[in-house]
Chains A and B, each alone.
Chain A
Amino acid sequence: MNDAVAHWLTAFRSNPVSTLHDLIMGRAVVPVWSQATLREVFLEILADQDALLDQALAGWVAEYLGKPTPPRTPQAVWSSHLQDVFQGAAELPLPEFERLLRQRLDELGAWLKPLRLAENCDPLIAAYRALAWGHTNHDLEQQLWRPLALRQIQADPSYTNIGLLGLIRARDAQGRLPAKPTDLLLDTLLDLADSGMVRQEWEPTTRSVMAGYMLSDATWARLFEARLNEPNSLVNAGSWVTQLFGQAVGVGIDSKVQRHEKMEPKVQSRVKFVGGKIIGGQGQKWVVVQTDKVVSLRLPRPVDDAVRLVEDFMVRELRAESRRFIRKTSAVHPQHSELKGHVDFAIEWPVKTLDITIHFQSLEPPDVSISQTPGTASPNDEERTPTSATPQPGSAPKD
C-alpha cells in the first residue's frame, strides 16, 4: 500500500468523520489521490475499511445535513464537494449510508435542492443516484423515480437517467430486486415517448435500459407489445417501438406504411445516396443504414456501383462490404461536404424482404426508388428524412 494512503488510513481509523471531512474539503495530503475522483478514493478506502467508511459517510452526512456552507468555502465549491460525495458513494455497498439517505430523504431534498447550480453541479441528483443503487430503494417508484424519469421535477437528461435507474433497481417489501423489467419501467419508457422527448433522445435512452439486461430484441419487443396492447392514449410510443424493433411488434405498422408510401413520389431526379454507417447485417434481423453525410450521384455508373454494393451487402450480409460502399459513394462527390449535417436519412429494411428496384431511362432525370415487397414496410420516418434528402422540384441540383 502507498505510504501516504497508509498514513491517511491510520488517521481515519482514529478519527473517521473528521478525517473524511478533510478529504472531502481537499485537505488530505495524499499525492496519489491528487487527481483521483472521490469515487476512486472511496474504492481504495473500501478495500481496507469498508465498515468504517460506511459509518464515517453516514456520520458526515448527518453532521452537515442542513448546515450552511462552511467558512472560507465558496458555495460553488461546497456544492461541488457534496456532489462528489454522493457521486462517489453510489454503486458501493454502504448500508448505513443508504439507510440514512432513505430515512432523511425529505431533509436531503430541502438541503441539496438550493445547492443545484447547474447540470454539472447538482448534488441532489447525485444523492438520488446513490439512493437508486442502495438496498433502501423501495416504495419510491411513484413518489420519486417516475416523476424524475418523466422530467416532472427537472428537465435534465440526467434526471431521466436516474429516474429510470431507480425504477430498474426498485426493490419490493422484502428487499428483493425485480426478476425482470417491470411493467412500470416499460410504461415509463412508453410514456417518455409522449412526454415531449424527441425520438433521437428516446431511442438511446431506451437502448441504454435494454443494454443492462441480457434479453433479446424479440423478448423486449414482446414485453413492449404487451404493454402497448393495454388501453392507452399514446401517440408516438407505438411507432417508435416499431422503429426500434421492426416487424416484431405489430403496432404502428399501418401508419408507417402510409408514411413510406407518401415518401416514394418524392424521389427526385437526383439520388441522394447516403454515406455513413451500415449497422447490423450478419446474423441480425435488420440492416440499418444511417447517415452522417449525403452524396449525390450522377447516372448511370455511380448509382449502378452503389446499388450493386448495397445488393452485395444484402446478399452476403458482410459488414465489411458496407465500408466499401461508404468509401466509394463518398469518393464520388467529395465536394459535397457542404451538405454534411443537413441530411439525416436512414433506410431500414428487413434483410430478406427488401427488394431494391432502380429505374433510370436517361441521364437526366433519373428515376431511382427503393421499394419493398408486399407485406413488408420500411420504417423510414419523417423525422429522419428531412427535405434536404429529397429535394423539391425546382431546387437547384448540387454537384
Chain B
Amino acid sequence: MLRTTRGYRLPSLRDARRAPPTPEAFQPVAPGAKLPGDCAFKKDSNPGGVAAAPALRTPAGVRDIINAPLPPGACFARPGATRSHPSGMPDARPQPRRGCSRPPPPQIVPLTLPRPHVYVAQDMAFQANNPFFAFLTTAARSVSLAEWAPAENYILEERLSPDRHQEFLNTSGFATTSPADVPDWFAQHYNYTLVHIAQRGAPPGSLASTFRSINQPALLTVQSAQDVVRVETLEGLHSRARSILSVDQVQTLITQYLAIRRTGALPPVAIEAPLRKWITDACRGGDSRPTFAAPLAEVEIILAQPDWANRLRDALGLGHIRSSATGPARVLLMRYSLERVRNAYLRAPAWAAAPTVLDDVARSGPNPCFFPAPETSWAGFGFTVDPDSSNPISVREILHAPIPYVLEDIQAFGLVTSPVPDPSVTSARDRHRANLKPHLRYIADVPSRP
C-alpha cells in the first residue's frame, strides 16, 4: 500500500507518477466508494485480497484510518518501491515497511516555533485528499511554470492546519470534486482568498484567516520594535484610492513631496494635504488581505543602491512587478514600524504569520515567486524567492495584518525597469528548493518534471 510522507494512505500517488491519472481519477467520489488507489492496494500489495479501506477525504477519516488496526498480512509498500531521501541522506521520516502489521507512526518533528502550538504537525495536508492531491501531482508534472510551481507549493506546504485545509476544500468544492482543470483550480483559489483572506465586503477591521487561530501552525511572534519595508505599486494603491487626482498627478505630487522632504524642509500644505487624503483613501479602499513585509535591516544595503527598485523587487520575490509593454512599473517604497501593527491588533489572536499557499490573493494563479517555508527551520520564517541569478539573496518575509499607511511611510519612488522571465523564476525556485531540501518534509511527494 502506498502512503504519503505523513503516513497516510495514498493509493493512487505512485501510479500517478508513472502515468497520468485517468479521467476517472478526477471524478467525484461518493463516500465509501473505492478509489483507484484502493484497487492498487489490493492488487499489488495484498495478493490475498483484503477489503479496501474507506476513501480518505476528511481529517477525521484520515485519523481513523491511521489509528485503525490493519488487516492481517497487509503490507505498506509495493515490492521494490522503497523510499529514499532525495538528498541521498538516510530518510528519517516514516518509511513503509514490509510485512508489518501496522503503519509506522508519523514522525514528530521537534518544533522550534516561538509560540506554543496546539496542533499535531502531521495532521493534515492536501496529500490526504485523494482526488485533489492526484490533480496536484499531475499539475506538478506540467512543463508550464504557471502550473507546476503552484502545484509544487501546494504539495510542499507544511503549515496548514486541518481546519484551514478543510476551509479551503469546502469553499472550493474540492473536498468532493477535483478541479476540472488548472484554470478551475486557480479560480477557486482566487475565490477562497477573496472570501477568507481579502474578505472583500466584510466590515472594516475583519481579520483574515491568516491571523486567526485556524492558522495556528503559521502564526508567528515577531519583535515589534523593528521597521519593515514593503513595495507597493503606484497603480495598485491608486486603484483603491478612487481619488480626485489622476495617477500621474499623484506621482508628481509624491516626487515633489519626497524631494522637499529630503532637503530637511517640510513640504507645503498644497502638496501634503492632497497626498494625505490620497493615501487615506487608498487604505480605506483596501481589504483585509495580509501584508507581505521584510525587515528593513535585511535590505538596507539594497536600498542604498541607485537601482534599488529592481534589486528590491528581486530580493523580495515580487515577480509580478516588472516592466512591460506599457513601460516601467512605478513603485513606492514603504517603511514603518511593526509596533503600529501590534498596537492595531492587540486583541487579535495574532498579527504576524508565515505565508502559506493559501494566503496569496492571486488573480491569475498562485504566485510562482513564492516558496512555502519549512516548519522546522529558522524559527518559522519564510524566505523570498529571488529571481536574480547573478546575486541572489533570500530575505526573511512575514505577513502582518494590514494597517493604514500614513504619508510618512512613503520613503521613495522608483521605477522597476527589468522584466522577470519565467526561466529566471524556475532557476530561483530550483535554488530555493535545493537549499531547503533537508527541511522539506514532503519533498518526496513532488513528482519530477519532464
User: A residues within 8 Å of B by Cβ?
Assistant: 1-5, 22-23, 25-41, 43-44, 46-48, 72-74, 76-77, 79-80, 83, 87-88, 91, 117-121, 125-126, 129, 157-158, 161-162, 164-165, 168, 203-205, 207-212, 217, 277-281, 284, 288, 319-320, 322-323
Contact = CB atoms under 8 A, between A and B. Distances in A.
A296 to B, nearest CB: 23
A281 B260 CA distance: 13
B254 to A, nearest CB: 11
Contacts of A34: 319-320, 360, 362-369
Nearest to B149: A31
Nearest to B142: A29
A76 B196 CA distance: 11
B101 to A, nearest CB: 44
| Most-contacted residue by chain B among A1, A27, A212 (CB, 10 A) | A27
B262 to A, nearest CB: 12
Q: Interface majority SS on A: helix, strand, loop or mixed?
A: helix
Interface residues of B, number: 80
Interface centre among A25, A48, A126, A205 (most CB of B within 10 A): A25
B201 A91 contact: no
Contact of A29 (B183, B267, B285, B318): B183
A26 B172 CA distance: 13
A82 to B, nearest CB: 11
Interface string B162-177: 0000000000010000
Nearest to A115: B201
Contacts of B286: 120
A188 to B, nearest CB: 12
B320 A44 contact: no
B121 to A, nearest CB: 29
A77 B200 CA distance: 7
B244 A209 contact: yes
Given A27-B186, A40-B233, A165-B244, A208 B273 contact: yes
A170 B364 CA distance: 36
Q: Which 5 A-B pairs have the closest CB atoms?
A: A117-B201, A26-B190, A47-B325, A319-B265, A27-B183
A35 to B, nearest CB: 4
Nearest to A280: B268
A29 B200 contact: no
Given A121-B200, A280-B268, 8 more contacts: A34-B367, A157-B281, A158-B242, A205-B277, A207-B269, A210-B274, A279-B266, A284-B268
B336 interface: no
Contact of A44 (B245, B274, B324): B324
B325 A31 contact: no
B191 A32 contact: no
Interface in B252-274: 253, 264-274
A77 B272 contact: no
A211 B183 contact: no
Contacts of B326: 43-44, 46-47
Nearest to A210: B270
B249 interface: yes
Contacts of B249: 211-212
Given A118-B204, A205-B277, A211 B271 contact: yes
B405 to A, nearest CB: 15
B296 interface: no
A287 B89 CA distance: 71
Interface in B206-247: 233, 235-236, 239-240, 242-247
Nearest to B250: A211
18 contacts: A1-B325, A3-B422, A28-B364, A31-B320, A32-B420, A34-B364, A40-B233, A44-B326, A87-B240, A88-B239, A91-B246, A120-B286, A158-B281, A158-B285, A164-B244, A165-B244, A207-B277, A322-B266
Contacts of B368: 31, 34
A313 to B, nearest CB: 11
B284 A280 contact: no
A37 B235 contact: yes
A281 to B, nearest CB: 8
Nearest to A72: B173
Contacts of B240: 87, 120
A207 B321 CA distance: 31
Interface string B279-302: 001001111000000000000000
B441 interface: no
B110 interface: no
Interface string B364-381: 111111000000000000
Q: Which of B173, B249, B270, B286 has the largest number of chain A CB atoms within 10 A?
A: B270
